[in-house]
Amino acid sequence: MVPWLALCAHMLWPVSCPVCGAVAELVCGPCLRSLFRPQPPRCLWCGELAPCKVHKDNPVRVRVGAVYQGVMKDLILMLKYARYEAIGFQIGEALGERLTRPEADALVPVPLHLRSPRRYNQAGAIAKGLGSVWDIEAWDVASWVEDVPSHAGMGAAKRLSLSSEAFAFNEDISGLRVAFVDDVCTTGATLSRLARAAQNHGAEVVGAFAAAHVPPAY
């Protein structure tokens, strides 16, 4: 059985923390916090280690809480595929305690893809947890307007050529300071496209956050 399925089965009976084994906890707060190891910040625009040489005039960073592996990966897979939405809020809370609060008016989660069968936005659940710790509104205001494939494996040149018109904003975001939230950052291309779209709509982009990233492809 693949690890995350084993974890899900284990959690059906008895429910216990996958880290310390404490019963009656999906995952306990201290154990969840212990999983976070903030990663070196990256440039939101190009994905290079920050500060990058190219975007000195508009330095915006992506902050990531952990590497996408082990129990952290299992928890995110449960959040995405096993309908444990509540874990997203807990992940967001723990992430918010480990990372520095941005001076933002709103935390905007990366929206679900147009064809996603999911009934909730996992990035939105994380944004709500982050927002509760940072006292910033989580605002699920963006939506995809383009049915796009994954950006995984795309080179830097290719991802920079991607249009920012893939996103629409359902409310007026002009004049607001916004930060973006995703569950897993792979190439960083989705976050940078969303950020450029927000700039095109008059927002000031002040940061981006992800619970975990996949470092080799990033």
Binding interface with Zn ion (CB under 5 A): 17, 19-20, 22, 28, 31, 43, 45-46, 52, 54-55
Residue 174: closest CA among 146, 144, 200, 194:
200
Residue with tokens 């893809």: 113
Q: Which two tokens stand for residue 159?
A: 């991802």
Is the Cβ of residue 5 or residue 19 nearer to Zn ion in the bound state? 19
Is the Cβ of residue 46 or residue 168 nearer to Zn ion in the bound state? 46
Least Å distance between CB 148 and Zn ion?
22
Distance between CA atoms of residues 190 and 146, nearest Å:
12
Specify whether the CB–CB gap between 181 and 131 falls below 8 A. Answer: no
CA angle at 97 for the pair 95 and 98, rounded to the nearest 5°: 65
Is the Cβ of residue 17 or residue 210 nearer to Zn ion in the bound state? 17
Is the Cβ of residue 20 or residue 114 nearer to Zn ion in the bound state? 20
Q: Taking every pair of C-alpha atoms in the chain, what is the biggest distance, in angstroms? A: 54
Residue with tokens 């449960």: 78
Least Å distance between CB 56 and Zn ion?
9
Least Å distance between CB 121 and Zn ion?
26
Q: Which two tokens stand for residue 111?
A: 């929206």
Least Å distance between CB 195 and Zn ion?
12
